[in-house]
Amino acid sequence: MIGHVLGGAAALAASPPVQDPGTASGNGRTVTFGLFVFFIVVTLGITVWARLNTKSAVDYYAGGHAFSGPQNGIALAGDYMSAASFLGIAGIIALSGYDGFLYSIGFLVAWLLTLLLVELMRNAGRFTMADVLVYRARTQSPVRTAAAVSTVTVSVFYLLAQMVGAGALVALLLGIHPGETFLGMSAEAAKTWTIVVVGALMIFYVMFGGMKATTWVQIIKAVLLIGGGVALTVLVLARFGYNLSGLLGSAAESSGKGAAFLEPGLKYGKDVPGDPYHTLLNKIDFISLALALVLGTAGLPHIVTRFYTVPDGRAARTSVNWAIGLVGAFYLMTLALGFGAAALVGRKAIMAQDPAGNTAVPQLAKALGDHFGGPVGGDLMLAFIGAVAFATILAVVSGLVLASSTSLAHDYFGHVLMFGRPRESQEVGVARFAACLIGVLAIVLAVIAKNMNVAFLVALAFAMAAAANLPAIVLSLFWKRFNSAGVVSGIYGGLVSSLVLVFFSPVVSGKVDPLTGQSLSLFPKGVDFHFFPLENPGIVSIPFGFLCAVVGTYLGRADADSRRYDELSFRSLTGAGSV
Amino acid sequence: MRYAVMARDERFRLLRRRFARLALAIAGSFLGWYFLYVALSAFARGLMARPIAGNINVALVLGVLQFVSTFALAWCYARYASDSLDPVAAALRDEADAPAALRAAPWRSALDPGADDDPDLADERPERSSRAERSERSGRPEPLEAGRGPASAPVPPDGTPESGRNVRLSRPTRVIEPMSAEPLPRSAMPRQPGPPDGPPGTQRDRGVPKQVNGRPRRPREERGPEEQALPVVRGRPDRVPAPPGPSPADGAPPAAPAQPDIAAGDQPAAPEPAPVPAAASAADAGPGSATGGPVHAEAAQRPVDAARSQAGTAQRQVETAQRQAEGAQQAEPAQRHQAEAAQRQAGAVPGPVASKDDGSDAWSGASVRPDPGWLR
């Protein structure tokens, strides 16, 4: 799973230092660090500018609806492509071949569902998903509360995985091995400091800059990411004479697995010879993951909030189209990057530095730089890719914190805690405070979990979004009979089922690496209370979420005001009266 | 509320049907194809392993096809939406949002009842400041052009017989399919005016048919200056009230200011009842419009008062309109039947306004009567 690769990097701290050709030399480390600082300074400048331009709730929550379709599309792509995609997918491809590609396909195809829903949501809502869900509700409080709980839960889980991964990643990018120091910090300390610094930066961006700052940071990051990806892809292809087949063959050879490297089945849906039960379980697990990926994107809170930064539904549609183009192009590039890393860096070197494969792309960058430009080139490429990864992390975590704070302030504070609606300028103050709160919570949890294998959290976040948010959104928009009881039961049913199932799954307890005997789960080796056999709860919790929504509708009071439904239907499809 | 009532409009149903078909087609195809791919990857590994060209195997090709299909479906959606969904949606949206003069704040933004009162949200209100809205904000009617009176017309106060009978549901009265070849139900055809009931000079506020007096209506560019200078609400084409139905002779003057060409018996110009469709419905009173010239003078005077009274009575009119809408629902089919009977009598069988024939959009020739029911 995608977060798996980031979380796996955390395990590296415990391993002894190994000779690896991919780390930065002293000079390279300085350049990398310098680029980090440069990027931070630029984004701080953007935040200050955004602060001066953020005057009202609309500015804070939705950037004043002032972003054009293409700009928002680039920001959407930037918000979506986390470091996990950039490094993680390429890492899975580098280590396990084709299966990483399966992952990226799921990530991309999900955007078509988003495209179908984006105009409706933009037309019918204002800042958050809950604005759409409460349209027909007789009383807003229960629905707003449920939506806020769901948003914060999904965002915090995603955030945790990103921040823990960030800590490990930066330590690796700076090439700090156990026993070495960088600026007087050991690897452990560097990890903690990274988490704290990343957390502080994201709090600053969101508190002071709001949506405007985060959008521009994401646009810049997306440009850097695509640029870096294109540069690396061209170099990789050039290295193999623009012969894709040659690249694939070389990768298959280096992997030691031959043709199986280019086929599905090395990581997901593994065939266990002689054990049809576990084979079937693996395949169902894989299908469950695919389901969660394809249905989850449309319900991710930080994606939904970004629908509202454009003036109208049509611009929202344009922005999703741009996002599809960029995300698709990028994931095609990761194919080349992953196989290139497998061919040029080699499985052993990658695993030596990070068992989960996160550093495959930086190592590839160094190898390509060395090949084309000597050691200096290698260090420069490594520094550049490292800075891109750092920018990626910062952009995504800011987006997540913004979405959570928006929901807490607008949905929970604005509609539940305050009986009479506060003036929206008061809401913004609360939103800033909520951003600080969530940021601090994320920092604390990430520091506690910094050595744990929290990789599963991203896939879990997708499964929760698909199980809790998607049924509520789809049924609200399209089902006449749906009512607020349905929304509440759907959201809580999806959330709770996902959490419970994953708690009793092998990712939390009971999964043991057959080779090393180490626990691959969250809990250490002795603890095992799992009974749910799948690692991703999607295939059970998503239908369950829909079922809860439907059952809740029929059990609840029929407050389905058909006039409100007609109104919602009219407004969402035509854009009349949209703000 | 007008959105809920407009949701019963045939055009909206068309939009909804189209969107549903599009969404189901795209969702069905991409989900089906994606899960087929997942199933093949999980269970048909032999097939996936087959090489195609060198080291490129079926698995890779299918994976890249997923990307291609995603781009293709996104492009298809964008194209279909902009061709077939956006025009319909824009028409409905303009019709729903344009008449702001009569709308008091509370029900304008259904999402946020207090939004319009909140100065924080002042910058959020859609900047579609039509003339009607500007007049609302400034508190007095804005002149259409220099020298012309305001376009708002008096609305019959509650309780008068006319106010009840003025209300129509937004049944389909015109075609809005400039680019689509899809046949619309007959009910979506524009209603053509019935026979003139009086001297030509009194045909003031009839629908403007494609054929008038046996001649095709002149395109907008060729019309005389008096026709050109008709008030047009931003974004809305020339609207004309529907042909005379069995609506009452309420005597309320039409919304338009003086129309010099009417007396000439020329093609009736299209009055612009933009903010006050209620008045427009009054205008389609066949016998009522026989009042002709003298009414214009009053018309210039009354809207000023009407605009002020409207703001006061707007709230009451909402409830009234809703009740009337229900009542009108039953009355409407009967009216339509009568209108069609009148058409048959007149022998005028206009062709559908389906294509842009003269550079103006398809709406300018159609006889359109905005529904007053949801505008009170």
Structure tokens at A75: 């920001």
Strand B51-53 and strand B211-212: the pairing is unpaired
Beta bridge partners of A46: none
pLDDT of residue B15: 94
pLDDT class of A170 with cuts at 50, 70, 90: confident
pLDDT of residue B286: 39
CA distance B96 to B4: 10
pLDDT of residue B55: 85
- Interchain proximity B67–A321, CB inside 8 Å: no
What is the count of residue pairs from A and B with beta carbons less than 8 Å apart? Answer: 192
- Residue of A428, A570, A578, A579 to mutate when probing chain B, most B C-beta within 10 A: A570
Give the residue, B357 or B9, on which the prediction is more confident: B9
Q: Indicate the CATH number of A2-574 among 1.20.120.1200, 1.20.1730.10, 3.40.50.720, 3.20.20.120.
A: 1.20.1730.10
Give the residue, B100 or B42, on which the prediction is more confident: B42
Contacts of B62 (CB under 8 A, 6+ apart): B37, B40, B48
Interface of A with B in 408-427 (CB under 8 A): 421, 423-425
Set of chain A residues whose Cβ sits within 8 Å of the Cβ of B63: 98, 101-102, 105
Q: A283 — contact with chain B (CB < 8 Å)?
A: yes
- Interchain proximity B121–A571, CB inside 8 Å: no
Nearest beta carbon to residue A287 from set B19, B42, B53: B42
pLDDT of residue A270: 84
- Interchain proximity B86–A314, CB inside 8 Å: yes
In chain A, where the domains are located:
2-574
Question: Helix or strand or coil: residue B212?
Answer: strand
Phi-psi region of A324 (alpha: psi -120 to 50; beta: other; left: phi over 0): alpha
pLDDT digits (tens, 9 = 90+) for A334-353: 999 999 999 999 888 888 88
- Interchain proximity B6–A570, CB inside 8 Å: yes
Query: A354 pLDDT exceeds 70?
Result: yes
- A211 to chain B, closest Cα gap in Å: 16
Nearest CA in chain B to A124: B111
Residue with tokens 């018309």: B299
The radius of gyration computed from the CA coordinates of chain A, to the nearest angstrom, equals: 23
Q: Tell me, letter by letter, the H, E, C secondary structure of A373-442.
A: HHHHHHHHHHHHHHHHHHHHHHHHHHHHHHHHHHHHHHHHHHHHHCCCCCCHHHHHHHHHHHHHHHHHHH
Query: A213 pLDDT exceeds 80?
Result: yes
pLDDT class of A182 with cuts at 50, 70, 90: low
- B177 to chain A, closest Cα gap in Å: 15
pLDDT class of A62 with cuts at 50, 70, 90: very high
CA distance B307 to B276: 10
pLDDT class of B219 with cuts at 50, 70, 90: low
- Interchain proximity B81–A317, CB inside 8 Å: yes
CA distance B218 to B375: 31
Query: A444 pLDDT exceeds 90?
Result: yes
Set of chain B residues whose Cβ sits within 8 Å of the Cβ of A135: 110-111
Q: ipTM value of the model?
A: 0.91
Query: Which of A292-296, B8-12, B193-197, B310-314 shows the highest mean pLDDT?
Result: A292-296
- Residue of B52, B56, B67 to mutate when probing chain A, most A C-beta within 10 A: B67
Question: Taking Cα atoms as reference points, which of B180, B28, B152, B159 lies closest to residue B91?
Answer: B180
pLDDT of residue A289: 94
- Residue of B19, B26, B70, B322 to mutate when probing chain A, most A C-beta within 10 A: B70
- Interchain proximity B120–A423, CB inside 8 Å: yes
Structure tokens at B129: 């400041």
Q: Calculate the average pLDDT of chain B.
A: 58
Set of chain A residues whose Cβ sits within 8 Å of the Cβ of B65: none
Query: B261 pLDDT exceeds 50?
Result: no
Lowest average pLDDT, out of A422-431, A506-515, B275-284, B340-349, goes to B275-284
Phi-psi region of B354 (alpha: psi -120 to 50; beta: other; left: phi over 0): alpha
- Interchain proximity B60–A98, CB inside 8 Å: yes
pLDDT of residue A153: 96
The conformation of residue A205, written as its DSSP 8-state character, comes to I
Nearest CA in chain B to A321: B74
Percent of chain A at pLDDT > 70 equals: 93
- Interchain proximity A567–B109, CB inside 8 Å: no
pLDDT of residue A578: 82
Nearest beta carbon to residue B67 from set A108, A244, A249: A108
Query: B336 pLDDT exceeds 70?
Result: no
End-to-end CA distance of chain B: 9
pLDDT of residue B222: 56
Query: B28 pLDDT exceeds 90?
Result: yes
Lowest average pLDDT, out of A79-83, A103-107, B294-298, goes to B294-298
- B372 to chain A, closest Cα gap in Å: 17
pLDDT of residue B214: 54
pLDDT of residue A206: 94
Query: B254 pLDDT exceeds 90?
Result: no
- Interchain proximity A324–B71, CB inside 8 Å: yes
pLDDT of residue A326: 96
Set of chain B residues whose Cβ sits within 8 Å of the Cβ of A576: 3, 6, 92-93, 96-97
Burial of residue A259 (CB within 10 Å: 0-12, 13-18, 19+) is middle
Query: A232 pLDDT exceeds 90?
Result: yes
Give the residue, A133 or A452, on which the prediction is more confident: A133
pLDDT of residue A172: 77
pLDDT class of B90 with cuts at 50, 70, 90: very high
What is the DSSP code string of A120-173? Answer: HHHHH-SSSHHHHHTTT-SSSHHHHHHHHHHHHHHHHHHHHHHHHHHHHHHHHH
Lowest average pLDDT, out of B25-39, B62-76, B78-92, B244-258, goes to B244-258
CA distance A435 to A401: 6
Q: What is the mean pLDDT of residues A25-50?
A: 87
Lowest average pLDDT, out of A243-247, A343-347, A561-565, B236-240, goes to B236-240
CA distance B193 to B348: 8
Q: A566 — contact with chain B (CB < 8 Å)?
A: yes
Beta bridge partners of B51: B57
Query: B292 pLDDT exceeds 80?
Result: no
Give the residue, B132 or A104, on which the prediction is more confident: A104
A340 near A236, Cβ under 8 Å? yes
Set of chain A residues whose Cβ sits within 8 Å of the Cβ of B7: 566-567, 569-570
B23 near A116, Cβ under 8 Å? yes
Set of chain B residues whose Cβ sits within 8 Å of the Cβ of A287: 35, 38-39, 42
Query: Which of A264-273, A401-410, B262-271 shows the highest mean pLDDT?
Result: A401-410
- A551 to chain B, closest Cα gap in Å: 24
Interface of A with B in 490-529 (CB under 8 A): none
Q: What is the mean pLDDT of residues B123-135?
A: 48
Q: What is the mean pLDDT of residues B189-194?
A: 50
Set of chain A residues whose Cβ sits within 8 Å of the Cβ of B73: 112
pLDDT of residue B210: 54
- Interchain proximity B67–A56, CB inside 8 Å: no
Q: What is the mean pLDDT of residues B199-219?
A: 52
Q: What is the mean pLDDT of residues A167-181?
A: 72
What is the DSSP code string of A7-55? Answer: HHHHGGGGSPP---TTS--HHHHHHHHHHHHHHHHHHHHHHHHHHHT--
Q: What is the mean pLDDT of residues A16-28?
A: 50
- B241 to chain A, closest Cα gap in Å: 22
Lowest average pLDDT, out of A231-235, A384-388, B279-283, goes to B279-283
Length in residues, chain B? 376
Burial of residue A148 (CB within 10 Å: 0-12, 13-18, 19+) is buried
Beta bridge partners of B56: B53
Interface of A with B in 247-266 (CB under 8 A): 248-249, 252, 259, 262-265
pLDDT digits (tens, 9 = 90+) for A455-489: 788 899 999 999 999 999 999 999 988 989 999 99
Q: What is the distance, to the nearest Å, from the Cα of residue A449 to the centroid of all Cα atoms in its chain?
A: 18
pLDDT class of B115 with cuts at 50, 70, 90: very low
Query: A332 pLDDT exceeds 50?
Result: yes
Give the residue, A161 or B139, on which the prediction is more confident: A161
Set of chain A residues whose Cβ sits within 8 Å of the Cβ of B84: none
pLDDT digits (tens, 9 = 90+) for A494-503: 999 999 999 9
Q: Cα angle at B219 between B215 and B220, to 5 degrees?
A: 135
pLDDT of residue A179: 58
- Interchain proximity A105–B8, CB inside 8 Å: no
Interface of A with B in 85-114 (CB under 8 A): 98, 101-102, 105-106, 108-109, 111-113
Nearest beta carbon to residue B16 from set A318, A569, A576: A569
pLDDT class of B262 with cuts at 50, 70, 90: very low
Count of Cβ atoms closer than 10 Å to residue A16 Cβ? 7
Percent of chain A at pLDDT > 90 equals: 58
Q: Calculate the average pLDDT of chain A.
A: 88
